[in-house]
Structure 1
């Protein structure tokens, strides 16, 4: 097992949780590959990282939804840093469709980004980590994986698949000193969260968006939403600080919304 991970690939790092994770890693003297399809957003994350520590972040532009995207991202990481000690599979896609109006296009896009890319990245990074003698992978899942959400079926199903991939990868890679776990964040302060909830409100015929948000927040037992900085702390614990015996686990950071 790599005792002190120093080179980490973070996907979906242009904004949201990925951005927060990248900054938190740099603050821990970790070199970060900022992987995203959004070149401008990734560049902004790199600039924010540079304000914390110089020469600790490198931008990797990759469309992970393409068949070669995951391998390309890992190859680029190895070309830049020569190694990968850890990876955060954070890139995700979400859209909202009424169950009776679901489209094949939405299912395909959701599973290309949220499922196939995660599996292929685990395999590609796993090969590189095996050479190093170990590593750690954190996959971002969701409370939605264990909920019945008729207007959000493709996303919920994709995150259930992430849970399965996490367990499978953990068992497959355990003999190589690689630990694989997942984090299910609650409702966060991200653009993706707001965009998704606006689509949900529209499809449910709700014009009172603020009241709609309040109702959703009220479902959280602790009574408030979380933020990306708080969730980044959990990611870093799994990636850098968790005992080596922890693998194949699903950690909830949802304020009690997601309960085992």
Structure 2
């Protein structure tokens, strides 16, 4: 962002809170330190460091203080289940007070730039979603986030806060229990099949109307159809990769024979 948008040089500061690594190794730490030093050498000057790297465990109160004064929070994880950082930031921003009147609270404002790969990304509709692997678009997203008007930041904050305040632990617990109850009520009319051995064993419950596709039926429907769309499982998501390879090979062999027989 600093390289493309020079107006933020000397003004924008990124506070990188790096949680201690769970495993032994210096590779990640060295990369973080080298990147921080390189950016500060290029864009920093006396009295100004564009990147502040914090490499230690941080108490919740201290982290709350950082979140409460941050103009926006950036989460660029490429692998994550459900990080709570964006939700915590939204709540902590309510701690902002008007410096002119300590009794009156100014309207809360917040802005989020989140990776499209994290679990909470779909629920934060007001956030700017990015692909962290694309450096250019990430830089543009940071510029957009910091350039938004206060009114826009306030609207997005209110939207996110409504979601966070209603989708709490009680909500998730009830929704999980409702899903379990609904599944159990429907379980007795389903057909259950066992598949695999040992740790790979799985029980699959399917609807009574479910029927397994056979290569002959697929070939027949394919040859009769005027418009065709072939959807294949990818990388063993639903079934083992070996089964996919065998099925695809068998399918195209039958398809080739069927097509030849037409001419």
TM-score, length-normalised on structure 2? 0.35
More relative contact order in 1 or in 2 (CA 8 Å, sep 6+)? 1
Between Structure 1 and Structure 2, whose CA radius of gyration is higher? 2
TM-score, length-normalised on structure 1? 0.35
